[in-house]
Chains A and B, each alone.
Chain A
Amino acid sequence: MEHISYLFAAFLAVWIVIFFYLFSLSRRHRDLAREVEALRQMMEQKNPSRST
C-alpha cells in the first residue's frame, strides 16, 4: 500500500479537472440558452408577424 496517497491525489485531480470543466461548460451553456430565449422573445415582440 506504498504511495497510496499519490494514487488517490492523482485520481482526485483528474476528476476535479473534468468536473470543473463540465460544470463551467454547463453554466456557459445555460447562460447562452437564456440569452437566445430573451433575444427570440424580443424579436417576437418587435415583429409579431414573423413569429412561428
Chain B
Amino acid sequence: MPPMHWTDAIVESLKSHDVWLIPYVPDAITWQVLSKLEQDPAFHTVPVAREEEAIAVAAGAYAAGKRAAVFVQSSGFGNTINSLAQLSQAHKIPVPTFVGMRGGLGEFNPVQIPSAHPIPGFLDAMNIPHYAPMVEDDVTSYVDGALELSFASRLPVAVLLYSQLVGAKRATS
C-alpha cells in the first residue's frame, strides 16, 4: 500500500494526539497542510500576525487544558525564539512546531537561504529536539513521535518540512 500523502499523514497524527488549536503564519509549504486543517471540524485554526504570537496562543491553549501545534515558515522562525524559550521551555508547555523549510534544494529566492540554514543549529543550541522526514514513508512515524515526545516532556519539539518531502516552491508559483 502506498504511504499516505505527507499532508494527510500530519493531519491524522495531529488528530490521534488530540491536537485542537492550530495557530499559524501561512506559507506555501505549510499551507498544503493548513488548508486541510482549516476545513476539518476537529481543528480550530488561528492565523496570527507574527510567529511569536503563534507560540503564545498555543501556550495559552495548553495552559487552559487543550493541545495546540504551530505552523510557521523558516523565514519567520527566528521570531519564535523568545516565546519558545521564556514560555514553552521555562514554564514547561509543550508546543510542537512545524516549520516549512525554504532555502534548500530548488530554492529560487536567495534571501531564504541564510535564514533557513541556521535553524537546526539554533534548535540544537536551545536544546529543542528536531526531526525532518524526507520521504512520505517516514512522515507518520516522525510526526507521531515528535508529538508524543513534546506532550510527554512538556517541551517544544520541531518538525522541519524540507523540499525533499514537500517539493520546491517554483519562482512562478
**Genuine A/B complex:** no
Residues of B in contact with A (beta carbons under 8 Å apart): none
Residues of A in contact with B (beta carbons under 8 Å apart): none
